[in-house]
Amino acid sequence: MKKTTAIGTLAIAAAASVSTSSFAQSSVTLYGLIDVGLSYTSNTQTGSSNGKLHGASQYSFQDAATSGVTGSRWGIRGSEDLGGGNAAIFTLENGFGGGTGAIALGGAEFARQAFVGLKSNTYGTITLGRQYDAVDMFVQPLDAIATWGGYMIAHAGDVDNLANTRRSNNSIRYLSPSYNGLTFGGVYSVGGVSGSATQKQIYSLGVGYTHGPFAVAAAYLNARDPNFSFYGSQANAGTTAASNNLGGVGSATTAQSIPTFAGYASAKTLQIIATGASYKLGAATFNVVYTNTQFQHLGNLSDGPNPFNYSGSATFNSAEASVSYRFTPAWTAGASYDYTHNSGASNRGSATYHLLAAGADYTLSKRTDIYGVIVYEHAAGTDSLGQPAVAALTGQTPSADNHQLGLHLALRHRF
């Protein structure tokens, strides 16, 4: 009896040892943050009469997904050690409205990210699912949006997607390991259309280099049939030729939601070229970002509505300069200026947008901080809807005229 008991005890100990070793090689982490606050926006559209837009001040409680730095979210990430410096990984990330608890980003359960993949210390990482594109991966970290400013200071309705408004569905992503500060990668979103390998496809490529206080990056994105593949990547997006997922005339959303480029829903191709650089000098960080966004081959009614009979291409050039300064370990402030010019389409006018922003962040603890952002935009010319260009801070109700002021004060907690 004693011998049997001893053997059983050894077996249990061995099993426990194997189980403990197995758990030590794998991990699953629950994480998230809540970022909510109060916003003020001037001149927001309230209606029109006799062809004239009417506006009024708007005070609201907003999640950061529409006004602040980091939209509220929760997620699960995990990894399993496969040996030899290799691992299986996954991420599921949900976005929600911190003020209401409602699912955000079109209503999908894991609309922010959902992917599985393999990671190698030698060969890099390959993942499959709903993911960020290369513009977001490489250039966005150098933009004021990511470092302190947030969604409201995005360039002209986030025309270049540096604020992560859109993701790539059904995508394959590769990211290299760092080679003395050099990284590169790409994302390919499968179109899935019978008889055409390119219809509704999205591909993006990027490269970045960091050396001491200096960082530089560049990226390229090409989306075919962007009204559906890129702007229609949310769960509640329109699927008919009459839909306008860019957010304007012909859609189920507010007709003026993104007047900056909503008139270009009939584009066959969206192309984004982005580059940026950053330099740290003591407590200060200086950043510059340039993007070129083109809505090409306008007039394809199978891609989206074209009520203004546009043809050819419309091109947006954006140039941003920003600086941030860490006054103390707890207190950081920043300022930026962005110039965006839309060349227009079919020789029917162009538009220019000037955006000034400033912000400050104060850290209360390792996980909690308060911050504020103030943004002013001025528009001139003719926008994509053929009207005198109105200011339209990203995520906010557009202005009734050519200028708009936005303020946002928020509390953020990470867990």
pLDDT of amino acid 52: 81
pLDDT of amino acid 153: 97
Nearest to 26 by CA among 75, 76, 82: 82
Task: Give residue 248's pLDDT band: very low, low, confident or very high (50, 70, 90).
Answer: low
Between 100 and 23, the higher pLDDT residue: 100
Which run of H or of E encompasses 56?
strand 52-63
Task: For residue range 10-62, list pLDDT tens digits in order.
Answer: 343 434 434 444 444 899 999 999 999 999 999 998 887 877 888 899 999 99
Structure tokens given for 353: 């947008």
Residue 97 backbone zone (phi > 0: left; psi -120 to 50: alpha; other: beta): beta
Task: For residue range 391-400, list pLDDT tens digits in order.
Answer: 999 999 999 9
> pTM, whole model, 2 decimals?
0.91
Task: For residue range 109-157, list pLDDT tens digits in order.
Answer: 999 999 999 999 999 999 999 999 999 999 999 999 998 999 999 999 9
Task: Please name each of the domains of the chain with its CATH number.
Answer: 28-414 (2.40.160.10)
pLDDT of amino acid 16: 42
Query: Mean of the pLDDT values across residues 60-74?
Result: 94
Q: Output the CA angle 390-393-395, nearest 5 degrees.
A: 125
Query: Mean of the pLDDT values across residues 364-391?
Result: 96
CA–CA distance from 338 to each of 143, 144, 191, 271, 355 (Å)? Answer: 11, 10, 34, 20, 5
For residue 285, pLDDT over 80 is answered with yes
Task: For residue range 304-336, list pLDDT tens digits in order.
Answer: 999 999 999 999 999 999 999 999 999 999 999
Structure tokens given for 96: 């929600």
Q: Cβ(189)–Cβ(108) under 8 Å? A: no
Nearest to 233 by CA among 191, 272, 280, 288: 191
For residue 176, pLDDT over 60 is answered with yes
CA–CA distance from 384 to each of 41, 148, 159, 296, 373 (Å)? Answer: 22, 29, 12, 14, 28
Q: How far apart are CA 133 and CA 259, in angstroms?
A: 24
pLDDT of amino acid 253: 43
